[in-house]
Structure 1
Amino acid sequence: MEETDAPGEYCIDREEGILYFFDPGTLSTLEVSLLEEPIMEMLGASDITVKGIVFENARGSAAALYGTGNCIFSGCIFRNLGSFAISIEDATGFSQQPQQAFSSNNGIVDCMIYETGRGGIVLSGGDRNTLTPARNYVHNCTIHDFNRIAKTYSAGIKISGVGNQILHNEIFNAPHVAILLSGNDHLIEYNEIHHVCMETDDAGAIYYGRNPSERGHLVQYNFIHHLPERYRTTAIYHDDAACGMKVHGNVFYKAGAFPVLIGGGSDNPYTNNIFIDCPVGIKVDNRLQAFDWAKPMIAPGGIIEQRLNEIKFDRPPYCTNYPELAKYWEEDPSFPKRNRVDRNLFVNVGQTVLKVDDGVNADKQFLDFTTNNLITREDPGFIDKNRMNFKLTETSAVFEKIRGFEAVPFEKMGTYAIGNK
């Protein structure tokens, strides 16, 4: 206790159950919560709307939904929490199972989340065995400063399950990831992500990996910017054999050491994206083939085989929904394939593609980098680059120089106002 000698510091006498706090003299009120359970919990509920409520001052989370349907949290504020803000999950492991075990069509809309201890939102639901989508969603929310206690892998949004959606959100101010991804067939669209991965190395704003069966994702029309270059940070991180994500129409501006890192995986096409002011555009490697630390992942009995067998990857619905997955072991999984880079714009990017291997495969390509990409040092016709308005003018030469390039709807990215708010 004698070391508590500066305003704002505190210490805990756990034996006596006393907290000593050095008041900085600026507090008009002081609230101490002993609540460890969620403030609100729903099990098997349906058709409920929670609107305009402030959830705050709990040691745990604010709300937990299990096996719910059509339940909406709208216009709420979640702040000053010890754990994450809200979770939507399936009702598994309960002694009394609700009539609806899977959560579906639930939403978190127009909410603000900040000053939490262990992340923002846990968004799950759906059946991975049958690939049945849940269609739970996070829409038009602002999420920031969500890692007061847990600095890594406690994302702004942790998304899993099947067929869930992250739309029109802003996520910022975090030491590690913004979106932590697992599962299948998710949609991540029209979000703005910035100033994340600020304190960690080898990290991605959107991150997933080590399970080639987790595919079918679409990441499109997002604006990811201002990630630190000093660490090995990336906007989208396909880590350790991650496969099957379509990335289309995004804008990457000052997005880390390299906006894209494909770590040995396949079937990750990049189309119609814009890369601006980045040291490297796309980094790709054949780690499962070249690096001793990665080779055990695809060895017999390794983590990749275990995870593929968990969902019977070579049988319906996986072999029908993802035909390339059924041939995973036949096609040499150590070599990246079908990572097509086409119809992209690179503006003032130091090195468009950085390929990393052991030298043995130096003559082989891990990316299908077509001739239909434009690399330039000049402003290609942005409306106002200095004000970060990266919408292209209708007269931009990009539309002539890149065959089939579509106008990126930059003005729709991020949150939008509701009435006067």
Structure 2
Amino acid sequence: MDRSSINLYVWMPTEDGNISSSDITYVSLLDDCIHVPQNVHDITFSDFTLEACRGNGIYGNNVHHVQIQNLEIRNTGLAGARLNGDTRDVTISQCMIHDVGGGIKLAGGKRGLLESSGAVIENNEIYDFSRLGAVNYHAISVYSVGHLVRHNTIYNGQYTGIWFMGNDIVMEYNHVHHTCMNASDCGALHTGRDWTTNEVHVNIGGGRDNIVSNNVFYGSTRYSMQVDGRGVGHDHDGDLKHNLHARIHFDVMV
């Protein structure tokens, strides 16, 4: 920015830093490409391309019975699709999501009552994610209760493939590779700091009833599997105990 001449100069991401007449440059003023009003239900997004917004490709809060299918979502500042609150009966399937902040971020159900969201995330291809930064930009992140995440292909990201936090979350038949490209405290599947979630991942630091079966691990830089003892002299023991106390208190109140 040359403030004296009020000119903005851009060095293009090409070999010579120049731009040709055939190149297309987007300067978006949109926050979210599509903002679904709160509590909307019975809506389908299908068979189109969504791109070039500063925020999320699709954003909604407390939405029910929403289908997002066969979309290409690309070039967003934040998530390709972000559904917050008590989302129920949402299906995101057969989408190609790339060049985004995070891929899919979804919360739903009620943990205090273990009421399932009924959400399904399946048969999506998510790659070239975490474009803005590394930590907290996941390909898929799910929160609360009762999600099914299966048959997704995830690759080329700075941070975690699938982040999960909650209960009764099923993750199966996903192909995750070339993630954690710019982070160390990270995983293909990753969760932590809360004993009340279903902690099933390959660096197992506590939790209960951890089962890891029928997986193929390759190309690990340190360990394919590691187990250690959180809660006995670990740096984040305070977080674990705080979350456990908060969850017990909430459940008693409910």
> Shorter-chain TM-score: what band?
0.7 to 0.9
2:91 counterpart residue number: 107
1:25 counterpart residue number: 19
Give the counterpart letter for 2:116 in structure 1. P
Q: What is the correspondence of 1:5-404 to structure 2 with a 5 Å cutoff? A: 12=1, 19-23=8-12, 24-26=18-20, 27-90=22-85, 102-116=86-100, 118-215=101-198, 236-239=202-205, 241-260=206-225, 283-289=226-232, 291=233, 294=234, 297=237, 302-312=238-248
- Percent identity among equivalent residues? 28
The alpha-carbon distance between structure 1 residues 123 and 314, as it changes in their structure 2 partners (threshold 3 A), is closer
Structure 1 unmatched ranges of 5 or more: 1-11, 91-101, 220-234, 261-282, 319-421
1:209 aligned counterpart, secondary structure: coil
Give the counterpart letter for 1:286 in structure 2. G
1:331 counterpart residue number: none
- State how far apart, in whole Å, the 2-side matches of 1:201 and 1:211 are: 20
Give the counterpart letter for 2:132 in structure 1. I
2:191 aligned counterpart, secondary structure: strand
- State how far apart, in whole Å, the 2-side matches of 1:136 and 1:79 are: 22
TM-score (norm 1): 0.54
Give the counterpart letter for 1:105 in structure 2. D
8 Å contact from structure 1 (residues 128, 311) kept in 2? no
8 Å contact from structure 1 (residues 34, 59) kept in 2? yes
Equivalent residues, number = 248
- State how far apart, in whole Å, the 1-side matches of 2:30 and 2:3 are: 17
**How much has 1:43 moved relative to structure 2?**
1.9
**How much has 1:37 moved relative to structure 2?**
3.4
- State how far apart, in whole Å, the 2-side matches of 1:152 and 1:45 are: 31
Deviates more, 1:244-253 or 1:50-59: 244-253
- State how far apart, in whole Å, the 1-side matches of 2:123 and 2:4 are: 45
8 Å contact from structure 2 (residues 73, 80) kept in 1? yes
- The CA deviation string for residues 327-350 of structure 1, in whole angstroms up to 9 with x for no partner, is xxxxxxxxxxxxxxxxxxxxxxxx
- State how far apart, in whole Å, the 2-side matches of 1:31 and 1:65 are: 25
2:245 aligned counterpart, secondary structure: helix
Q: What is the correspondence of 1:401-416 to structure 2 with a 5 Å cutoff? A: none
Give the counterpart letter for 1:103 in structure 2. T
Higher RCO, 1 vs 2 (CA within 8 Å, ≥6 residues apart): 2
- State how far apart, in whole Å, the 2-side matches of 1:257 and 1:18 are: 49
**How much has 1:13 moved relative to structure 2?**
5.9
2:15 counterpart residue number: none
Give the counterpart letter for 2:193 in structure 1. R
8 Å contact from structure 2 (residues 158, 181) kept in 1? yes
- State how far apart, in whole Å, the 1-side matches of 2:24 and 2:183 are: 35
The alpha-carbon distance between structure 1 residues 257 and 163, as it changes in their structure 2 partners (threshold 3 A), is same
1:385 counterpart residue number: none
- State how far apart, in whole Å, the 2-side matches of 1:166 and 1:19 are: 44
1:211 aligned counterpart, secondary structure: coil
Give the counterpart letter for 2:195 in structure 1. P
**How much has 1:208 moved relative to structure 2?**
0.8
Give the counterpart letter for 1:48 in structure 2. I
2:188 aligned counterpart, secondary structure: strand
8 Å contact from structure 2 (residues 33, 51) kept in 1? no
- The CA deviation string for residues 96-152 of structure 1, in whole angstroms up to 9 with x for no partner, is xxxxxx211101110000011x21110110111111110212110000011111212
- State how far apart, in whole Å, the 2-side matches of 1:314 and 1:63 are: 31
The alpha-carbon distance between structure 1 residues 314 and 77, as it changes in their structure 2 partners (threshold 3 A), is closer
